[in-house]
Amino acid sequence: MQKISFVVPVYNEAENISLLYSKIIDLMVKVKGEWELIFINDGSNDNTLAILKKYSSKDKRIKYLNLSRNFGHQAALTAGLDHVADDVMAVISLDCDLQDPPEVIEKMINKWQEGYDIIYARRKNRHDLFIKKYTAILYYKVLDKFSEVNIPRNVGDFRLIDKKVLEHLKGMREKARYLRGMVAWLGFKYTFVDFDRPKRIHGNTGYTVQKMSKLAMDGLLNFSFLPLKIGLLLGILSITLGVFITLYMCVDVFFYNIYYPLYKWLVVFLFMFMGFQFMLIWILGEYIARIYDESKQRPLYVIEGKVNFADDI
């Protein structure tokens, strides 16, 4: 089998590294493949780094990058993906806490050999806290409804991507990174492997509420124009309401002879005017969205295959 790279960001995972290492060794003995395991130490403040040093000196297939501080999971993962060896044909990104069980990897590899380019591990149920579970469900619903690309639900950053997907992903250098969305944006042939997400074995989650909200915002803002549409909606709403109230007042004045003092008319006109302002904000927002989109400098298209050219893929 062709060479596979495992990319694992670690933040205070001292207790989990040896477990993950032995699981991966067992797995790769079973599937008989060449591999490398890249750890990215994301500014841990326990002895994660010392453990990585120990393992990497014993086993040359273990590599690690040491980031100068905590840059966050998505950045760490990106660093890892950028450093995958050239002869690697597929990359599997996973967490170090064994919440992404290596058993699932075997199924992913099988799917890859069947010819899929992206294999997402999809969580069937979560053993997370009540609040995390339900916010996640709600969040994915909103994202699904409003994002421009079809971002699969209930998948994290546990996935296998083929080398050709990796090459394109490496070309996407936007700063606010929501990797699962970026991978989905690229297209290619994808499928899912379902699994039960277990609880964390050792240590605590490195994802504080703050980090999670940032990731959630990155996802929503990068992949949907929902926030922008609010201006448009509010605008339409307040203009229509204004028009109806004006009509109502006109009926009162012309048919029932009711007198409205000037300030009442003004209030209604101001209301409608506010609607126009909302619309203006929306238009400004559309321009900002375009500037933002340009600044991401994503490729315009991604070619999966070429036929009868000098350099066919």
Q: With binding defined as CB under 6 A, does residue 72 bind ligand UDP?
A: yes
Footprint of Mg ion on residues 259-288 (CB under 5 A)?
Answer: none
The H-or-E segment that residue 195 falls in is strand 190-197
**How does 30-69 read in b/e, with b if 16+ C-beta sit within 10 Å?**
eeeeebbbbbbbbbbeeebbebbeebbeeeebbbbbebee
Q: With binding defined as CB under 5 A, does residue 36 bind Mg ion?
A: no
Interface with Mg ion (CB under 5 A), residue from 13, 42, 97, 162: 97
Please report which residue ranges of 59-119 form alpha helices under DSSP H: 73-82, 102-114
Residue of 129, 118, 204, 189 lying closest to 158 (CA atoms): 118
Can you tell me the distance from the alpha carbon of 7 to that of 16, in angstroms, rounded to the nearest whole number?
A: 15
Q: Tokens 């996640």 identify what position?
A: 136
Q: With binding defined as CB under 6 A, does residue 76 bind ligand UDP?
A: yes
Interface with Mg ion (CB under 5 A), residue from 44, 78, 99, 238: 99
Q: How far is the CB of 25 from Mg ion (least distance, A)?
A: 21
Q: How close are the terminal C-alpha atoms of the chain, in Å?
A: 21
User: What mask of x and - would describe binding to ligand UDP in positions 180 to 209, judged by CB under 6 A?
Assistant: -------------------------xxx--
Residue 234 backbone dihedrals phi, psi, to 5 degrees: -60, -40
Question: Near Mg ion by CB under 5 A, which window of 98-106, 151-159, 259-267, 298-306?
Answer: 98-106
Beta bridge mates, 190? 118
Interface with ligand UDP (CB under 6 A), residue from 9, 80, 102, 275: 9
Q: How far is the CB of 93 from ligand UDP (least distance, A)?
A: 10
220 binds, among Mg ion, ligand UDP, none (CB under 5 to 8 A by kind): none
Residue of 299, 85, 78 lying closest to 170 (CA atoms): 78
Q: With binding defined as CB under 6 A, does residue 42 bind ligand UDP?
A: yes
112 binds, among ligand UDP, Mg ion, none (CB under 5 to 8 A by kind): none
Question: Near Mg ion by CB under 5 A, which window of 27-35, 76-84, 87-95, 101-109?
Answer: 87-95
By CB under 5 A, name the binding residues for Mg ion: 95, 97, 99
